[in-house]
Structure 1
């Protein structure tokens, strides 16, 4: 059962890095450091958008409209951190 805990923590870690990559890439695109007309940048951005759209859309449905500020990535990261804490604190149940 310890391996199940490690797999769950690995999945949360990968999800965290995907969200962080999406956040950083969105900043770089908005500050015009990256250009979406470049094929590789567009493919990476499109892949991240398609991967995270279902998660963000569910979060945006109950978050208040903040104008141009999107809180969905922040809430997703907080949820990942909370799940990690819950899993680590209950690790004895996996032994």
Structure 2
């Protein structure tokens, strides 16, 4: 049973890292949107391609406010923070209970 506990502990660590990294990618995308970045730059294209699927889903639900204020990155960051504070501790607790 300790093997499953170790697996869940490792999974919790990976999920925490992935959610944290994606949050920083979202922040990078938001910062790049404030400046006139070259849309053909490979980094800009990567940030756009990796974040646009999630952001476009949020934009369908939440309208863009007057003046072009897009709240979808902030909403996605809040969702990622929620997942990090709920999912990761839950997996860690399960890992400890099985270990």
TM-score with structure 2 length normalisation? 0.77
User: Is the 2:19–2:80 Cα contact (8 Å) retained in structure 1?
Assistant: yes
**How far does residue 26 in structure 1 lie from its aligned partner after superposition?**
1.6
1:88, distance to aligned residue in structure 2 (A): 4.1
**For the aligned residues, what is the CA RMSD?**
1.7
- Deviation of residue 58 (structure 1)? 0.5
Deviations 1:4-42 (A, max 9, x none): 10010011011011111111122232xxxxx417x6xx2
TM-score by length of 1: 0.80
Distance (whole Å) between structure 2 residues aligned to residue 64 and residue 17 of structure 1: 23
Larger Rg: 2
4+ residue stretches of structure 1 with deviation over 6 A?
Answer: none
Secondary structure of the structure 1 residue equivalent to 2:59: helix
Query: Unpaired segments of 5 or more residues in structure 1?
Result: 30-34
1:53 lines up with 2:52 in the alignment: yes
